[in-house]
Amino acid sequence: MEQQGFAHRTIFSFFKPFGMNTKLYGLFPIKIGSINSIRHVASPTIGYSYSPDYTKPLFGRDLGYFQEYTNSNGEKAYFDRFSGTSAGSTPRQERQGDDFFIKQCVSGPKKMDGDKEKKIDLFSWRMNTSYNFVSDQFPLSNLSSSLSSKSGKKTES
């Protein structure tokens, strides 16, 4: 099914980090080369997110983003005219969930000439997952993780 012509779409999703974020600090006296100690900072955040199901009326109004039709198997199906375009597919499932993030940074002071020290960031590790309260299957999302590091001799503070 294809539809020609111009169409616009306005969709929204909502994310609100709660006041439940903090920073946890740790300092470990470890001697590695010119580094005298390791500083670990963990910053956890909990948030809430919401995205509606656009196949259903929103606030009592059908937005017309989907055309309902019966497929060859006699089942009800939806045609999204934005699927496959640069706008991307329109969300077809409601999502209400808690989002969990944690950012961890590991750094250390490097001894320079004399008594001077320079802070160097060794690496940063981010992880996040979420729990969808309205999902019947697989309400817990995959754990996403990324690790980044500044390497080389030129390390900025």
- Tens digit of each residue's pLDDT (9 = 90 or more) over 119-137: 888 899 999 999 999 988 8
- Identify which of 142, 55, 50 has the alpha carbon closest to the alpha carbon of residue 91: 55
pLDDT at 79 over 50: yes
Integer Cα distance of 141 and 63 in angstroms: 28
Closest CA to 52 of 95, 81, 83: 95
Higher-pLDDT residue of 146 and 59 is 146
- For residue 147, the model assigns a pLDDT of 95
Residue 71 lies inside a defined structural domain of this protein? no
CA 9 to chain centre: 23
Alpha-carbon distance of 92 to 34, in angstroms, equals: 55
Domain of 22? Answer: 14-56+94-148
Considering the entire predicted model, what is its pTM? 0.62
Question: 157 with 119: CB under 8 angstroms?
Answer: yes
In a domain, residue 48? The reply is: yes
Residue at 86 is within a domain: no
The count of structural domains within the chain is 1
Compare 74 and 34 and report the one with higher pLDDT: 74
Please check whether residue 32 lies inside any domain of the structure: yes
